[in-house]
Amino acid sequence: MLRKYIQGSLAATLLFTAQAQAASYGENLEGFAYPWPLQHSDFTSQQQTLRMGYMDIKPQNANGKTVVLLHGKNFCAATWEGTIRALSEKGYRVVAPDQIGFCTSTKPKSYQYSFQQLAENTHRLLETLGVDRAIVMGHSTGGMLATRYALMYPEQTEKLVMVNPIGLEDWKAKGVPWRSVDEWYKRELKTSAESIKAYEQKTYYMGRWKPEYDKWVDMLAGMNNGPGKANVAWNSALIYDMIATQPVVYEFPHLKVPTTLFIGTGDTTAPGSDTAPDAVKKAVGNYQELGKAAAKAIPNATLIEFDGMGHAPQMEAPEKFHALLLEALAK
């Protein structure tokens, strides 16, 4: 019985590896199917024409409110699929963009990445779509962006929701070594299906894994190993530099909108900490403490914790997460 179990597990792992290695998508994720029609918005930024991919899902029975979903570093608009369904069923219009440098959007050869720039790009898209005010919800790196958006556009932000946001601490101030863009680039060129799954399984899902996670690994691995691999890696390197050098934690007290934090307490995400001394590694990425500290720093903040869960509670425990999300939005 044990031998059959081991053989079955090994076969499943080999099958996943072969499928992920075989996947190959375009530089802007061409070939990967999004769960709703993918639309595009063209605009000029930093003296170049860029294209932003997004989904705009309008519910059958609208409640008059719009939620903007901002993805994380290793995620895309498509990975919000479960959350989009839950929100749409309750009457929310949902706008889910891919930020410049990510997924279905343009990956410029050169771009001065900043959270302010990405917030402005998002605001421009919402203006184009006629969205004057929205609930802004960000996961992971999207939480840093959502924070910046709420700081820049408080009148257009009805509520701020963050799901295991990174940026709840200043890693470099805690001793995480600086890494050059060239060093980030070399690391990103080595990205593979195996490395993505190993990292996500450890950090996002606390060592657990479900078959439904495989397609998101396939999505990232296919883009990172497709014909546009070099440019995908270069933009990823530029974005990591932005994440590492542009903390938002010091500005939490300046937020003026009602804020809800959803925190998987087992999360240990801390970008760049893989090169840090052991003592620093132990000191960063402690979401058991970071969530509580952020809730204290942010005026009018509500903290909802998911004990023992990792970086993506909306994917790890979707029914529980979405029930609590809808309850929080209704207040």
DSSP string, 257-313: S-EEEEEETT----TTGGGS-HHHHHHS--HHHHHHHHHHHSTTEEEEEETT--S-H
- pLDDT at 9 (0 to 100): 45
Mean pLDDT over the full length of the chain: 94
Is the model more confident about 2 or about 40? 40
pLDDT (mean) for 113-132: 98
Residue 84 pLDDT > 90, yes or no?
A: yes
Q: Mean pLDDT, to the nearest integer, of 200-215?
A: 93
Residue 7 has pLDDT above 50, yes or no: no
Do 79 and 21 touch, CB atoms closer than 8 A? no
Residue 64 — left, alpha, or beta (φ > 0 → left; ψ -120 to 50 → alpha)?
left
Tell whether the model's pLDDT for residue 60 goes beyond 50: yes
Tell me which of 43-47, 165-169, 204-208, 240-244 is least confident: 204-208
Nearest by Cα to 156 from 129, 127, 117, 115: 127
Residue 284 identity: V
pLDDT at 2: 42
For the residues 173-200, what does the mean pLDDT come to? Answer: 96
Confidence tier at 203 by pLDDT (50, 70, 90): confident
CATH of domain 2-330: 3.40.50.1820
Give the number of other Cβ atoms within 10 Å of residue 301's Cβ.
18
Please give the share of the chain, as a percent, with pLDDT higher than 70.
93
Mean pLDDT value across residues 151-164? 98
Q: How confident is the model at residue 131 (pLDDT cuts 50, 70, 90)?
A: very high
Distance CA 248, CA 203 (A): 22
Q: Which of the four pLDDT bands, split at 50, 70 and 90, describes residue 22?
A: low
